[in-house]
Homo-oligomer: A and B are copies of this chain.
Amino acid sequence: STTYRILVLPGDHVGPEVMTEALKVLDVVEECQPGLRFERDSDLVGGCSIDAHGVPVTDAVLEKAAKSDAVLFGSVGGPEWTNAHPNPESGLLQLRQRLDAFANLRPCEVFIPSLVDASPIKADLVLGTKFVVVRENCGGAYFGQKVEEPDIASDLWVYTKREVERCCRVSAAVARMLGRNGDGQGGGGPAIVWSADKANVLASGRLWRKVTQNIFDEEFPDIELRHQLADSMAMLMVKNPRGFNGVVHTDNTFGDILSDISGGITGTLGILPSASISGIPGEGRCNGIYEPVHGSAPDISGKGIVNPVAQILSLAMMLRYSFHLTREAAAIEDAVTRILNSKEAGGMDIRTADMGGKASTTEIGDAICDAL
């Protein structure tokens, strides 16, 4: 039997609530597949780590993360730590950096009626949306040198050729897996890669564009690459979300914004998972951080109403990208789809409030476990 070692970092506020549900789902996978064992260690990150240790992540936790096969992450932050230095979020940033989890994958799909209902976009425009944002995750303005004085402050938005290159290789691998049909099996050949930058203004944007073009010319001549200015892309994603079906390849700052627009398109961040990985998908096991796109949502925490779907789909991404358990990942995704679609299929409405339903966090988790 194979054993995978997972570090579980629930974090703050709704983090532990959604994590509980994801771990229940993992239990079911383990029960159904006696050949698989998921060894779990749990620890603190974010505000709760500040309270316990004075820092948002301890060196010990960073080392544990580096030694595990994958990190399942909840969410961090909250009004209690507004004045904390460093802040809870920097725990997450340190973790990304320690694992060199340089590529952040954020899929967005709208393919069933209940997702169309929840979307603010007109149904005929949004149905059939399916893209994956691949966001560079360890460089750019997030990690460049900072100056912080009372009257002046700066962040260095810096990229090296190597950082852009390796992100290109991930985007290309995702384009091959996704496929132009969006079937996740490479159907129709590789999906289009849309690269977003501000090459008309930023030096780092010009490097991004040049290096990306070169890598695709040299290594992936069969993949269609298109460049788009990041501002214009933000506009077009709202106007015609299906227009970017495929892979959106972009830097850390623009990726942060563009992937939140995904939440605008679906109408809720509560269903959007993410994977921050340290290697090229399909090229051997790699460590990664798996976390919902949503934050710690202090306004609804403790009420048992947060949507656990993003965390559960993040778990599925972990099985797929860090462990290559494709079948198990697909089974979870399928169970989630059936639950979200339950009402339309003539069953009960099993959705949380963010999607217009009334179900509790636990009810969703249980239903997904049953469906599985």
Which residues of A line the B interface, CB within 8 A? 77, 87, 89, 93, 120-122, 125, 141-142, 144, 146-148, 150-162, 198, 200-204, 206-207, 230-232, 234-240, 253-254, 256-261, 263-265, 267-269, 295
Instruction: Tell me the complex Cα distance, A258–B256, Å.
Output: 13
Asked if B141 and A202 sit within 8 Å, CB to CB, the answer is yes
Q: How far is the CB of A23 from chain B (nearest CB, A)?
A: 27
Instruction: Tell me the complex Cα distance, A295–B200, Å.
Output: 12
Choose among B154, B201, B239 the residue that contacts A120 (Cβ–Cβ < 8 A). B239
Instruction: Please name 11 further chain A to chain B contacts, defined as beta carbons within 8 Å, in addition to the given A89-B201, A148-B207, A238-B264, sorted by A numbering.
Output: A87-B200, A93-B201, A148-B203, A150-B161, A152-B161, A153-B207, A154-B156, A156-B157, A231-B257, A234-B234, A234-B261
- For residue A154, which residues in chain B have a CB less than 8 angstroms away from its CB? 144, 156-159, 203-204
Instruction: Tell me the complex Cα distance, A159–B154, Å.
Output: 6
Instruction: Tell me the complex Cα distance, A162–B152, Å.
Output: 9
- For residue A256, which residues in chain B have a CB less than 8 angstroms away from its CB? 198, 230-231
Q: Which residue of the partner chain B has the closest CB to A259?
A: B231
Instruction: Tell me the complex Cα distance, A157–B268, Å.
Output: 31
Instruction: Tell me the complex Cα distance, A237–B234, Å.
Output: 12
Q: How far is the CB of A367 from chain B (nearest CB, A)?
A: 25
Asked if A148 and B206 sit within 8 Å, CB to CB, the answer is yes
Q: How far is the CB of A26 from chain B (nearest CB, A)?
A: 28
Q: How far is the CB of A107 from chain B (nearest CB, A)?
A: 16
Q: How far is the CB of A87 from chain B (nearest CB, A)?
A: 6
Q: How far is the CB of A263 from chain B (nearest CB, A)?
A: 4
Instruction: Tell me the complex Cα distance, A349–B198, Å.
Output: 37
8 example contacts (A-B, Cβ-Cβ < 8 A) are as follows A120-B239, A146-B202, A151-B162, A154-B159, A231-B259, A231-B260, A238-B238, A254-B257
- For residue A93, which residues in chain B have a CB less than 8 angstroms away from its CB? 201
Q: Which residue of the partner chain B has the closest CB to A156?
A: B154
Q: Which residue of the partner chain B has the closest CB to A202?
A: B155
- For residue A261, which residues in chain B have a CB less than 8 angstroms away from its CB? 234-235, 238, 261
Instruction: Tell me the complex Cα distance, A268–B89, Å.
Output: 36
Choose among B122, B150, B202, B240 the residue that contacts A122 (Cβ–Cβ < 8 A). B122
The 4 closest A-B pairs by CB, nearest first: A238-B264, A154-B158, A153-B207, A231-B260
Asked if B153 and A155 sit within 8 Å, CB to CB, the answer is no
